[in-house]
């Protein structure tokens, strides 16, 4: 079912994009693909955010892209630290860009460019200090 939206190579490339986006910042980015939620995806996204420990990063700068392709639903959650820097307008613009790409069938491209764009903001506000960049959270895509 998943392959109608993203193939294995594209999923591996998204993990690489996450690594690249996190390279020069202390921020953390996760992508969660949800096939099970029937309703209230936003509530589910917050539960997943917490379940993945994304609210426990040192600088509260984790970002979750929660996607349900079948339901055409996308939630982006930026934790307190990053949200205070980029504000709601950034998330709204990102959401619009991704949904536009999705509407054109460009699932991989939409997610990849949003992940990299998020990385640019994380680098701006949360640069690594003293060359230390611990990866606080896995970069693997999670599924439910």
Task: Give bridge partners of residue 68 from the DSSP assignment.
Answer: 73
Q: Which stretches does DSSP call E strand in the chain?
A: 28-33, 62-68, 73-78, 142-143
Name every residue whose Cβ is closer than 8 Å to that of residue 29 and which is 6 or more positions away in sequence: 18, 21, 22, 62, 63, 64, 65, 115, 118, 119, 122, 139
The predicted pLDDT at position 89 comes to 97
Number of C-beta neighbours around residue 143 at 10 A: 12
* Residue pLDDT tens, the chain, 144 long: 456 899 999 999 999 999 999 998 999 999 999 988 777 788 999 999 999 999 999 999 999 999 999 888 899 999 999 999 999 999 999 999 999 999 999 999 999 999 999 999 999 999 998 877 788 899 999 999
The predicted pLDDT at position 74 comes to 94
The predicted pLDDT at position 36 comes to 83
The predicted pLDDT at position 37 comes to 75
Task: Give bridge partners of residue 29 from the DSSP assignment.
Answer: 63
The predicted pLDDT at position 123 comes to 96
The CATH number that applies at residue 80 is 3.10.310.50
Measured distance CA(47)–CA(41) in Å, rounded: 10
Number of structural domains in the chain? 1
The predicted pLDDT at position 3 comes to 62
Measured distance CA(108)–CA(11) in Å, rounded: 8
Of 16, 115, 107, the residue nearest 64 (C-alpha):
115
The domain in which residue 139 lies consists of 2-143
């Amino acid at each position: 079912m998943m392959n109608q939206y993203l193939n294995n190579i594209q999923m591996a490339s998204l993990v690489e994009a996450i690594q690249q986006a996190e390279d020069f910042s202390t921020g953390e980015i996760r992508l969660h693909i949800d096939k099970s939620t029937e309703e209230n995806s936003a509530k589910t996204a917050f539960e997943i955010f917490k379940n993945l420990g994304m609210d426990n990063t040192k600088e509260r700068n984790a970002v979750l892209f929660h996607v349900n392709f079948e339901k055409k639903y996308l939630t982006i959650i930026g934790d307190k630290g990053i949200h205070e820097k980029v504000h709601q307008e950034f998330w709204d613009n990102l959401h619009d860009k991704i949904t536009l790409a999705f509407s054109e069938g460009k699932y991989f491209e939409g997610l990849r460019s949003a992940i990299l764009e998020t990385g640019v903001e994380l680098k701006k506000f949360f640069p690594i200090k003293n060359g230390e960049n611990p990866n606080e959270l896995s970069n693997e895509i999670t599924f439910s």
